[in-house]
Structure 1
Amino acid sequence: MEVLRIAILDFCRRRRSNSFCPSEVVRQMYPVDWRYFMKDIQLVMMEMYQEGLIVVTKKGLPIDPNNLPSGPVRITCPKQPNSLK
Protein backbone atom coordinates (compact mmCIF):
# COMPACT_ATOMS: atom_id res chain seq x y z
CA MET A 1 0.00 0.00 0.00
CA GLU A 2 3.06 2.23 0.16
CA VAL A 3 2.64 2.97 -3.54
CA LEU A 4 -0.81 4.44 -2.84
CA ARG A 5 0.59 6.67 -0.09
CA ILE A 6 3.24 7.93 -2.47
CA ALA A 7 0.63 8.51 -5.17
CA ILE A 8 -1.55 10.54 -2.79
CA LEU A 9 1.46 12.62 -1.73
CA ASP A 10 2.34 13.15 -5.39
CA PHE A 11 -1.17 14.45 -6.05
CA CYS A 12 -0.74 16.76 -3.05
CA ARG A 13 2.48 18.09 -4.51
CA ARG A 14 0.96 18.67 -7.94
CA ARG A 15 -2.41 20.01 -6.80
CA ARG A 16 -1.01 22.17 -4.00
CA SER A 17 -4.06 23.48 -2.14
CA ASN A 18 -6.68 22.16 -4.61
CA SER A 19 -8.69 19.17 -3.49
CA PHE A 20 -8.99 15.94 -5.44
CA CYS A 21 -11.03 12.76 -5.39
CA PRO A 22 -9.35 9.53 -4.28
CA SER A 23 -10.60 7.92 -7.48
CA GLU A 24 -8.41 10.33 -9.48
CA VAL A 25 -5.35 8.78 -7.89
CA VAL A 26 -6.23 5.19 -8.79
CA ARG A 27 -7.58 6.19 -12.21
CA GLN A 28 -4.17 7.58 -13.06
CA MET A 29 -2.39 4.48 -11.79
CA TYR A 30 -4.80 1.84 -13.11
CA PRO A 31 -6.85 3.39 -15.95
CA VAL A 32 -8.72 0.21 -16.82
CA ASP A 33 -9.09 -1.51 -13.44
CA TRP A 34 -9.25 1.52 -11.13
CA ARG A 35 -12.54 0.44 -9.49
CA TYR A 36 -10.83 -2.61 -7.99
CA PHE A 37 -8.52 -0.31 -6.03
CA MET A 38 -11.09 2.03 -4.49
CA LYS A 39 -11.27 0.15 -1.17
CA ASP A 40 -7.46 0.17 -0.95
CA ILE A 41 -7.16 3.89 -1.67
CA GLN A 42 -9.87 4.65 0.89
CA LEU A 43 -8.04 2.68 3.59
CA VAL A 44 -4.73 4.39 2.84
CA MET A 45 -6.47 7.79 2.65
CA MET A 46 -8.00 7.28 6.09
CA GLU A 47 -4.66 6.19 7.59
CA MET A 48 -3.04 9.33 6.23
CA TYR A 49 -5.94 11.43 7.50
CA GLN A 50 -5.56 9.97 10.99
CA GLU A 51 -1.83 10.75 10.81
CA GLY A 52 -2.60 14.37 9.97
CA LEU A 53 -0.97 14.27 6.52
CA ILE A 54 -4.17 15.07 4.63
CA VAL A 55 -7.72 16.22 5.29
CA VAL A 56 -10.70 14.31 3.95
CA THR A 57 -13.89 16.28 3.37
CA LYS A 58 -17.42 15.60 2.27
CA LYS A 59 -19.44 18.53 0.97
CA GLY A 60 -16.65 20.81 2.13
CA LEU A 61 -16.62 19.63 5.75
CA PRO A 62 -14.03 17.37 7.39
CA ILE A 63 -15.33 13.85 7.96
CA ASP A 64 -14.91 11.76 11.11
CA PRO A 65 -11.38 10.32 10.88
CA ASN A 66 -12.48 7.17 12.71
CA ASN A 67 -15.13 6.06 10.21
CA LEU A 68 -14.69 5.00 6.60
CA PRO A 69 -16.78 7.42 4.53
CA SER A 70 -19.65 6.50 2.30
CA GLY A 71 -20.19 8.43 -0.89
CA PRO A 72 -17.87 10.89 -2.60
CA VAL A 73 -15.13 12.63 -0.62
CA ARG A 74 -12.27 14.99 -1.44
CA ILE A 75 -8.66 15.00 -0.27
CA THR A 76 -6.84 18.21 0.55
CA CYS A 77 -3.26 18.63 1.66
CA PRO A 78 -3.15 21.72 3.86
CA LYS A 79 0.49 21.46 4.86
CA GLN A 80 3.16 20.72 2.29
CA PRO A 81 6.10 18.80 3.72
CA ASN A 82 9.41 20.34 2.72
CA SER A 83 10.29 17.32 0.62
CA LEU A 84 7.21 17.82 -1.57
CA LYS A 85 7.64 21.51 -2.44
Structure 2
Amino acid sequence: MEVLRTAIFDFCNRRKAKSFCPSEVVRQMFPEDWALFMPDIREVMMVMYREGLIQVSQKGIPVDREENPKGPVRISGIAKPK
Protein backbone atom coordinates (compact mmCIF):
# COMPACT_ATOMS: atom_id res chain seq x y z
CA MET A 1 0.00 0.00 0.00
CA GLU A 2 2.98 2.31 0.49
CA VAL A 3 3.39 2.57 -3.28
CA LEU A 4 -0.19 3.86 -3.61
CA ARG A 5 0.40 6.39 -0.84
CA THR A 6 3.53 7.63 -2.60
CA ALA A 7 1.65 7.81 -5.92
CA ILE A 8 -1.11 9.93 -4.35
CA PHE A 9 1.49 12.34 -2.92
CA ASP A 10 3.14 12.47 -6.35
CA PHE A 11 -0.15 13.37 -8.05
CA CYS A 12 -0.81 16.05 -5.42
CA ASN A 13 2.61 17.58 -6.09
CA ARG A 14 2.18 17.50 -9.86
CA ARG A 15 -1.39 18.80 -9.85
CA LYS A 16 -0.77 21.58 -7.32
CA ALA A 17 -4.21 23.10 -6.61
CA LYS A 18 -6.12 20.88 -9.06
CA SER A 19 -8.07 17.87 -7.86
CA PHE A 20 -7.96 14.45 -9.46
CA CYS A 21 -9.85 11.18 -9.43
CA PRO A 22 -8.30 8.24 -7.58
CA SER A 23 -8.71 6.20 -10.77
CA GLU A 24 -6.21 8.49 -12.51
CA VAL A 25 -3.53 7.27 -10.11
CA VAL A 26 -4.12 3.57 -10.68
CA ARG A 27 -4.71 4.02 -14.41
CA GLN A 28 -1.23 5.46 -14.72
CA MET A 29 0.33 2.74 -12.57
CA PHE A 30 -1.62 -0.26 -13.90
CA PRO A 31 -3.05 0.65 -17.32
CA GLU A 32 -4.33 -2.85 -18.08
CA ASP A 33 -5.73 -3.82 -14.69
CA TRP A 34 -6.43 -0.46 -13.04
CA ALA A 35 -10.00 -1.37 -11.99
CA LEU A 36 -8.67 -4.17 -9.78
CA PHE A 37 -6.84 -1.56 -7.70
CA MET A 38 -9.76 0.81 -7.09
CA PRO A 39 -10.69 -0.64 -3.68
CA ASP A 40 -7.04 -0.37 -2.61
CA ILE A 41 -6.56 3.23 -3.77
CA ARG A 42 -9.82 4.30 -2.12
CA GLU A 43 -8.75 2.65 1.15
CA VAL A 44 -5.35 4.35 1.10
CA MET A 45 -6.99 7.65 0.11
CA MET A 46 -9.30 7.56 3.13
CA VAL A 47 -6.48 6.68 5.52
CA MET A 48 -4.48 9.64 4.22
CA TYR A 49 -7.56 11.89 4.46
CA ARG A 50 -8.18 10.85 8.07
CA GLU A 51 -4.52 11.58 8.82
CA GLY A 52 -5.02 15.10 7.43
CA LEU A 53 -2.54 14.60 4.59
CA ILE A 54 -4.91 15.19 1.66
CA GLN A 55 -8.40 16.51 0.93
CA VAL A 56 -11.17 14.27 -0.40
CA SER A 57 -14.32 15.83 -1.80
CA GLN A 58 -17.51 14.86 -3.56
CA LYS A 59 -19.21 17.47 -5.72
CA GLY A 60 -16.86 20.06 -4.22
CA ILE A 61 -17.80 19.27 -0.61
CA PRO A 62 -15.37 17.55 1.78
CA VAL A 63 -16.53 14.02 2.54
CA ASP A 64 -17.24 12.82 6.06
CA ARG A 65 -14.00 11.44 7.50
CA GLU A 66 -15.90 8.74 9.37
CA GLU A 67 -17.71 7.33 6.33
CA ASN A 68 -16.37 5.64 3.22
CA PRO A 69 -17.85 7.67 0.37
CA LYS A 70 -19.94 6.04 -2.30
CA GLY A 71 -19.62 7.25 -5.87
CA PRO A 72 -17.05 9.50 -7.51
CA VAL A 73 -14.65 11.50 -5.36
CA ARG A 74 -11.78 13.89 -5.98
CA ILE A 75 -8.43 14.10 -4.22
CA SER A 76 -6.42 17.26 -3.74
CA GLY A 77 -3.38 18.26 -1.76
CA ILE A 78 -3.44 20.39 1.36
CA ALA A 79 -2.60 24.03 0.73
CA LYS A 80 0.59 25.01 2.52
CA PRO A 81 0.50 28.26 4.50
CA LYS A 82 2.52 31.10 2.98
TM-score, with normalisation over the residues of structure 2?
A: 0.94
Q: Which residue of 1 aligns with 2:51?
A: 51
Q: How far off is 1:33 after superposition?
A: 0.2
Instruction: Structure 2 unaligned segments of length 5 or more: list them.
Output: none
Instruction: Structure 1 unaligned segments of length 5 or more: list them.
Output: 81-85
1:21–1:74 CA contact under 8 A, matched in 2 = yes
What pairs with 1:64-75 in structure 2 (closer than 5 Å)? 64-75=64-75
Q: Which residue of 1 aligns with 2:3?
A: 3
Q: Which residue of 2 aligns with 1:28?
A: 28
Runs in 1 of length 4+ with deviation above 3 angstroms? Answer: none
1:54–1:77 CA contact under 8 A, matched in 2 = yes
Computed over aligned residues only, the root mean square deviation of the Cα atoms, in angstroms, reads 0.8
Cα deviations by residue, 1:25-73 (Å, 9 ceiling, x for unpaired): 0000000100000000000000000000101000000000111111000
Q: Percent identity?
A: 62
TM-score, with normalisation over the residues of structure 1?
A: 0.91
